[in-house]
């Protein structure tokens, strides 16, 4: 089996890309260079997973508030290079969370109403994470009662969706970058089919580096009110999805081998939202 670097260079040769710099992330290898006079990024996924078919997902969004695709294949995608590619997270750290929230609403609005590519998972497929965890019948960091409660709500919301569409699936402050020519642009979609209220869940539990902010009940309420008002979405369904996804996120972290404890930010968020829902 070829290494990520070997696959990167092989794909670069096939697509006539001249690589001048490489960078590595936990899940992928990035090659920065040029192709036919354009500045590009060649991304190769290290393993089959959520981003393996990200090229197909990005092509389905047709560049509407998403990074543009020049070429794609399973596990590899050639993208336009954004400049300066600044993340949205620094706005939050700088005290401009409301501005960041409105930018996310604008990005979501531009990305809505696209048809999914073939074989795109649905929110029902993602619910299997609950099944896997509960089936083991042991608590590995997420209380079993909490997992069952979240699973029940998640499936209830999934079964009562009205209009479904292609969603980014992991839209948050680190996956929205600024480009001088295009403005704020989304990157690294997982791709999932669901109602638009589902898309808000990742925003509510980010940026992960400032948990004291997103664990604040007033911030959760303000963010959701801003997002649902701007996008004309159902506040209660968005709140429910945010709770269920917080628990599912913790379960996925366990599956990824991360240590889980009661102070994990996703679990703490789930408890805050759980109390909010009980008071409604």
CA angle at residue 90 from 89 to 91, to 5 degrees?
90
CA-CA distance, 8 to 244, in Å (whole number)? Answer: 37
Mark whether 170 is an active-site residue. Answer: yes
**CATH tag, 4-81:** 3.30.200
From-to residues of CATH 3.30.200 in the chain? 4-81
CA terminus-to-terminus distance, the chain: 54
pTM of the predicted structure, to 2 decimals: 0.95
| Choice among 170, 179, 188, 256 that is catalytic | 170
Please choose, from the candidates 230, 238, 225, 223, the residue with its C-alpha nearest in 3D space to the C-alpha of residue 277.
238
Please choose, from the candidates 84, 75, 58, 91, the residue with its C-alpha nearest in 3D space to the C-alpha of residue 186.
58
CB 245 within 8 A of CB 265: no
pLDDT score of 49: 81
Count, residues in the chain: 280
CA-CA distance, 139 to 16, in Å (whole number)? Answer: 51
Residue 196 CB partners (closer than 8 Å, separation 6+): 108, 112, 163, 165, 167, 231, 233
CA-CA distance, 42 to 47, in Å (whole number)? Answer: 16
Considering the four listed CATH numbers 3.90.1200.10, 3.40.50.2300, 1.10.10.10, 1.10.760.10, the one that applies to the domain covering 85-278 is 3.90.1200.10
Tens of pLDDT along the chain (280 residues)?
A: 789 999 999 999 999 999 999 999 988 999 999 999 999 999 999 988 888 889 999 999 999 999 999 999 999 999 999 999 999 999 999 999 999 999 999 999 999 999 999 999 999 999 999 999 999 877 789 999 999 999 999 999 999 999 999 999 999 999 999 999 999 999 999 999 999 999 999 999 999 999 999 999 999 999 999 999 999 999 999 999 999 999 999 999 999 988 888 899 999 999 999 999 998 7
């Amino acid at each position: 089996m070829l290494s990520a670097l070997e696959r990167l260079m092989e794909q670069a040769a096939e697509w006539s890309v001249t690589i001048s710099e490489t960078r590595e992330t936990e899940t992928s290898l990035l090659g920065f260079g040029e192709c036919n006079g354009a500045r590009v990024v060649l991304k190769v996924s290290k393993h089959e997973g959520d981003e393996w078919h990200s090229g197909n997902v990005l092509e389905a969004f047709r560049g509407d508030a998403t990074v543009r695709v020049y070429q794609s294949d399973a596990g590899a995608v050639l993208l336009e290079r954004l400049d300066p590619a600044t993340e949205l997270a620094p706005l939050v750290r700088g005290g401009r969370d409301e501005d960041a929230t409105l930018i996310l609403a604008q990005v979501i609005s531009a990305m809505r109403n696209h048809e999914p590519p073939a074989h795109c998972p649905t929110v029902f497929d993602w619910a299997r994470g609950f099944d896997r965890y509960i089936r083991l019948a042991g608590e590995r960091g997420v209380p079993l009662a909490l997992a069952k409660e979240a699973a029940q709500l998640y499936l209830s919301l999934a079964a009562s969706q009205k209009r479904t569409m292609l969603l980014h699936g992991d839209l948050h402050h680190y996956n929205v970058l600024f480009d001088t020519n295009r403005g704020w642009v989304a990157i690294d979609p997982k791709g999932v089919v669901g109602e638009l209220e589902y898309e808000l869940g990742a925003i509510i539990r980010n940026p992960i580096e400032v948990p004291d902010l997103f664990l604040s009940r007033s911030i959760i309420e303000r963010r959701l009110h801003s997002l649902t008002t701007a996008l004309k979405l159902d506040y209660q369904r968005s709140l429910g999805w945010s709770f269920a996804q917080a628990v599912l996120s913790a379960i996925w972290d366990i599956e990824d081998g991360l240590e889980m404890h009661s102070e994990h930010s996703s679990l703490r968020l789930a408890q805050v939202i759980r109390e909010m829902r009980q008071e409604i």
